Structure 1
Amino acid sequence: MRLVAVSAGLSTPSSTRLLADRLAESVGDELAARGAVVSVEVVGLRALAGDIANHLVTGFPPPRLAAAIGAVTGADGLVVVTPVFTASYSGLFKSFFDVIDPDALAGMPVLAAATGGTARHSLVLEHAVRPLFAYLRTTVVPTAVYAASADWGSAGDEYADGLPARIRRAGGELAALMADRPTRVEPADDVTALEQQLADLRFD
């Protein structure tokens, strides 16, 4: 199975990338426990910023961006993580999904997550990120993971789970969706399909 994590973190090191890695690891562990063989790829949008801008202007993706788009659209499940900018997802995050065909992610299992400096922005996942992926007709897991600066290393309290528990729960939900998703059949090559049709012809 192919799991792809998309990180829109801009700094190095990045808490957004760290959260993407932790979530991908959790999903991978859950799938491995189910007996699945999993490959994990992380797509860092920071390195693709110029390519994304060029694609928006020209309509043609440079090779690195085309490879990233292919990885995302060919995945069996996605982890998507954005930093919070002005109470919403980042422009880089949105621009990347703007250059993907709107129908290419239909039915894709998605785990949505975000990072920010304060817990006040935690609802960004519900009022911005989740609607974006609903528009793309993906299947977003119930647990969205928001990590504020204070959440790292926190075990939570009697009213709320800590970040590690939320990561485990969300990872389990995405793994379950991926495991239950029917295996996709790649379309036959056009030339091969034509050859088969000709071979099936019978002449008297």
Structure 2
Amino acid sequence: MTAEPSTVRRIVVVSSGLSTPSSTRQLADRLLADSSGLLGERGVEVEARVFELRDLAHDIANHLLMGFAPPSLEEALDAVAGADGLIAVTPIFTTSYAGLFKSFVDVIEPDALTDLPVLIGATGGTPRHSLAIDYAIRPLFTYLHAIPVTTGVFAATGDWGGGGDGVRSLPDRIMRGATEFADLVERTDRSTRVRDPFSLDRPMGHLLGGLTGQ
């Protein structure tokens, strides 16, 4: 059953590439374009926000140290919390996700990702690093009660030349992941996403100290 033409879905993209231009951002843009195109064909309007985490690196560090988010970081966190779908793309460093990527995830509210469809993307020098999607990144989002789609899309340096990994080309993998993601996003309703019943409405310090501030 397809959505009504007036349906709007909010997709947030976070890219943790460190260089400019960045193959990580390039992959993120491709995943967003294919996902948006598929949803558009179904009559679903897409509102997309893209955040480059390198632009928020100082704010993320300050949040981890001081416990509050500056306005630019707060905007990104609010966007994630209000999204119908998240596209998360990171380079692979030393067989796992980038530290900047993990630091951003660490400052997201614990229940903000509950029931949120996530399309995982990763980039690296060789196809050997593709395993990091399933042993490092996917468990991270599963732990946070998000719904990562079955297909994670990895792009090695050689993939951008069009040859791919000899099994399925990068464009094919992008389309497969985007299709699974679009299917979930189309069915997502922000108003029915489950909130963790054990999450705290206020910080623990407020509860222990009897504080009433927000």
Partner of 1:8: 16
Could you say what secondary structure the match of 1:11 adopts?
coil
> Cα distance, 1:182 vs. partner?
2.9
Where does 1:42-57 land on structure 2 (aligned, <5 Å)? 42-57=50-65
> Could you tell me how far apart the structure 2 residues matched to 1:103 and 1:44 are?
22
Q: Choose 1 or 2 for highest CA Rg.
A: 1
Could you say what secondary structure the match of 2:45 adopts?
coil
Runs of 4 or more, structure 1, over 3 Å off, are none
RMSD: 1.4
Conserved 8 A contact 1:155-1:164: no
> Could you tell me how far apart the structure 2 residues matched to 1:43 and 1:106 are?
20
> Could you tell me how far apart the structure 2 residues matched to 1:7 and 1:115 are?
11
- Provide closer, same or farther for how the CA distance between residues 123 and 185 of structure 1 changes in structure 2, counting only shifts above 3 A: closer
Equivalent residue in structure 2 for 1:174, among 147, 168, 181 = 181
> Could you tell me how far apart the structure 1 residues matched to 2:89 and 2:167 are?
21
- Provide closer, same or farther for how the CA distance between residues 183 and 173 of structure 1 changes in structure 2, counting only shifts above 3 A: same
1:66 aligns with 2:89: no
Equivalent residue in structure 1 for 2:172, among 157, 165, 168 = 165
> Cα distance, 1:185 vs. partner?
6.6
Partner of 2:134: 126
Amino acid of the residue matched to residue 34 of structure 1? Answer: R
**CA shift digits 1:19-60 (9 cap, x unpaired):** 000000111001001101111111110000000000000000
Unaligned runs of 5+ residues in structure 1 are 187-204
**CA shift digits 1:66-115 (9 cap, x unpaired):** 00111111110010000001100000000001001111110000000100
> Could you tell me how far apart the structure 2 residues matched to 1:86 and 1:185 are?
38
> Could you tell me how far apart the structure 2 residues matched to 1:7 and 1:181 are?
22
> Could you tell me how far apart the structure 2 residues matched to 1:149 and 1:90 are?
17
Normalising by structure 2, we get a TM-score of 0.84
> Could you tell me how far apart the structure 1 residues matched to 2:125 and 2:106 are?
26
Partner of 1:201: none
Equivalent residue in structure 2 for 1:153, among 146, 149, 161 = 161
Unaligned runs of 5+ residues in structure 2 are 1-8, 194-214
> Could you tell me how far apart the structure 2 residues matched to 1:182 and 1:94 are?
27
Percent identical pairs in the alignment equals: 56
- Provide closer, same or farther for how the CA distance between residues 86 and 32 of structure 1 changes in structure 2, counting only shifts above 3 A: same
> Cα distance, 1:184 vs. partner?
1.9
Partner of 1:26: 34
> Could you tell me how far apart the structure 2 residues matched to 1:93 and 1:29 are?
26
> Cα distance, 1:153 vs. partner?
2.9
Conserved 8 A contact 1:107-1:138: yes
Partner of 1:115: 123
